[in-house]
Amino acid sequence: KNLPEQETGVEEIPEVISFFNDIFGVYPFSDEKFGMTQLGFYGAIENQTNVIQNSLSPNWFMVSVHELAHMWFGDMITCETWHHGWLNEGFATYSEALWVEYAGDQQAYHSYMNSMQYWGPGTIYLQDVEDPFNVFIPIIYQKGAWALHMLRGVIGDSLFFESLRDYAESPELRYGHAHTAQFQEVVENNSGLDLDYFFDQWIYDAYFPLYGYNY
């Protein structure tokens, strides 16, 4: 009975797929297509090629964008251990902001990023992964996305998007597993920079760095 509402909620998904194709590389399961299933309870889960969500209605659209991004980051390249879960969830969360920027403008992008600030304790690199309830926690989604946002500022748009694509298209990592150091290596190879300081601050250290500036 809610079919029209659900159809409205997913009508932009083909455009999102096209956008992700452009920045991440071709949809990694193109031979198997992409499906979405409404379950009616729980939240959402990025099953490879067939996302399952509570709802496909318009107010779940950004969840749909998030789960779609997991086809690249989570399903095609899966974190080697849950210590590196941000490579799944931070990337998918940041992909939401990239869509907002594409569909809107830079102001919309910054507003979206500001809506998911994280000021709490802990490290993006998860110390305790024995209990699933210690894995899927806000820090790897929100601060994970902010780490990518800050990295983009450090190396600039051109090198940042080149690095995202090279990471997603790496023959060594595609349809396999990755850890943070492998992503760092891709970025360093593209930028020619030693980024130990950045990853130490953002991924392995707690809270947030303090920046001073002058002019």
Cα 215 from Cα 209, distance rounded (Å): 20
pLDDT given for residue 113 in this prediction: 98
Closest among 187, 17, 164 to 102, alpha carbons compared? 17
Contact 35, 89 (CB under 8 A): no
Contact 167, 29 (CB under 8 A): no
pLDDT given for residue 210 in this prediction: 82
Over pLDDT 90: what percentage of the chain?
A: 92
User: In this structure, what DSSP letter does residue 176 have?
Assistant: E
Average pLDDT of the residues in 86-96? 98
Average pLDDT of the residues in 130-145? 95
- Dihedral in degrees, nearest 10, Cα atoms 172, 173, 179, 180: 90
For 109-118, b/e burial (b = at least 16 CB within 10 A) is beebbeebeb
Q: Is the pLDDT of residue 90 over 60?
A: yes
Each residue's pLDDT tens digit, 38-67: 998 889 999 999 999 999 999 999 999 999
pLDDT given for residue 47 in this prediction: 95
Higher pLDDT, 166 or 133: 166
CB atoms within 10 A of CB 34: 16
pLDDT given for residue 107 in this prediction: 98
Average pLDDT of the residues in 30-45? 92
pLDDT given for residue 40 in this prediction: 84
Measured over the CA atoms of residue 144, residue 150, residue 155 and residue 156, the dihedral's sign is positive
Q: Is the pLDDT of residue 199 over 60?
A: yes
Q: Which amino acid is at 148?
A: L
Contact 20, 72 (CB under 8 A): yes
pLDDT category at 97 given cuts 50, 70, 90 is very high
pLDDT given for residue 161 in this prediction: 98
Burial of 40 (0-12, 13-18, 19+ CB in 10 A): exposed
Closest among 64, 66, 73, 76 to 28, alpha carbons compared? 76
pLDDT given for residue 42 in this prediction: 84
Q: Is the pLDDT of residue 5 over 70?
A: yes
pLDDT category at 1 given cuts 50, 70, 90 is low
